[in-house]
Amino acid sequence: MSTDKKSQLLTGLRLERALASGRFTEGRFRNTGEFYPRLKGSPLPLMGEYVFGGRDRVPKQPLPIENPLPFWLNRPNSSMRVTWLGHSTVLLEIDGFRVLTDPVFGERASPFSFAGPKRFHPPPVRIEALPPIDLVIISHDHYDHLCYESVMALAKRQVPFVTSLGVGARLEAWGIPSERITELDWWESHLIGGGRMAVTATPAQHFSGRSLGDRNVTSWAGWAVRTDNHRIFFSGDTGLTEEFREIGKRLGPFDLIMLEIGAFHELWGDIHLGPENALKAMTMLGGGLLLPVHWSTFSLALHAWQEPAESLISLAPKYDAKVITPKLGQVLEPSTFGSSPIWWRET
């Protein structure tokens, strides 16, 4: 077994599973067909944009937020209900189960409390006010998806976590009991509720790490959530990959597809979708109702904060896509949801 510093986060059975996955080479996970994505072209123009460009990256006034608590007090009228809580944090209510994706309720997506990307808006609710949660999905370990503050608050509620292979080592280091952590490699599934719901880790084209020295020591994944009545796909972070077609064939068709559209730049198009590639990915998955995520909470790129959503709704007719853009905290049932508000134009 490898014993270099890059692998020290993974030990024992966890390291054995990584070595057996086929994607773990020289102490690091890799994407299909490549070690890890690199910037397209020269980074010099990008550095110039960071210094001199990037207008309107932060809203000029507070964003509209709805309070979901009164709605959560009542049972859904249908078997699927969804609440977008900002960035990639979504509460899914599906056939009686509640699943929370990439919970980030902290002030910053950063290793520091005093610096780094800061939220545009407060969370629509506090973690303590969430209804009972059956499962928390953590797609990968970047700071805007794995938040220490949020994990610690959820740990008090004794919730189970399912995450990508290797990320469980970080959760255990924070005091989460191993019996409440399930780690999955691509195409592996975890059953809950006596098998009434299955969660499957799917291929994604991204990378991982929380410091300069641990790049790709843990894995990353997209996620399919399936019950007898519904199938939902959550991309996590990913670039456009042909593996979307295989995901759709194996695990679709999907009622709801949650794809990341923000934090996009053409130089890192291999690791983030952006609006048009999200629409292409939706098509490759076999179509379905598209809920854009990973935007409107942190400034993680150079585009204007609302540009991903504007581009998405502009391009949607070209792909014959049905898109829903709920307000932050808005509770909706996709089966009865009407026209989607373009709420960001009001800010």
Would you say residue 346 lies in a domain?
no
Confidence of residue 54 (pLDDT cuts 50, 70, 90): low
Beta strands in 26-118 (DSSP E): 28-29, 80-86, 89-94, 97-101
Q: Residue 41: pLDDT above 60?
A: no
Confidence of residue 341 (pLDDT cuts 50, 70, 90): confident
Q: Which segment of 145-159, 228-242, 297-311, 332-346 scores lowest on mean pLDDT? A: 332-346
Q: Exposure pattern of 156-189 as b/e (b: 16+ CB <10 Å)?
A: eeebbbbbbbbbbbbbeeeebeeebbbbbbbebe
- CB of 27 within 8 A of CB of 18? no
* Percent of the chain at pLDDT exceeding 90: 82
Would you say residue 342 lies in a domain?
no
Coil/strand/helix, residue 310: helix
Would you say residue 23 lies in a domain?
no
Which CATH number do you get for residue 81? 3.60.15.10
Q: Which domain holds residue 188?
A: 63-334
- Once rounded to an integer, what is the mean pLDDT over residues 179-202? 98
Would you say residue 263 lies in a domain?
yes
Domain count, the chain: 1
Would you say residue 107 lies in a domain?
yes
Would you say residue 8 lies in a domain?
no
Q: Residue 216: pLDDT above 60?
A: yes
Would you say residue 96 lies in a domain?
yes
Q: What is the pLDDT of residue 37?
A: 61
Confidence of residue 335 (pLDDT cuts 50, 70, 90): confident
Q: Exposure pattern of 310-331 as b/e (b: 16+ CB <10 Å)?
A: ebbbebbeebebebbbbbbbbb
| Alpha-carbon distance values, 21 to 30, 151, 203, 246 (Å) | 11, 26, 12, 18
Q: What would the DSSP string read from start to end of 141-187?
A: -STTTS-HHHHHHHHTTT--EEEETTHHHHHHHTT--GGGEEEE-TT
User: What's the whole-number average pLDDT of the chain?
Assistant: 91
Q: What is the pLDDT of residue 33?
A: 79
Confidence of residue 89 (pLDDT cuts 50, 70, 90): very high
Confidence of residue 48 (pLDDT cuts 50, 70, 90): very low
Q: Which segment of 48-52, 61-65, 285-289 scores lowest on mean pLDDT? A: 48-52
Q: Please tell me the distance from the alpha carbon of residue 282 to that of residue 4, in angstroms, as a whole number.
A: 39
pLDDT per position as a tens digit, 288-323: 999 999 999 999 998 999 999 999 999 999 999 999
Q: Residue 2: pLDDT above 70?
A: no
Would you say residue 49 lies in a domain?
no
Q: Residue 334: pLDDT above 60?
A: yes
- CB of 36 within 8 A of CB of 239? no
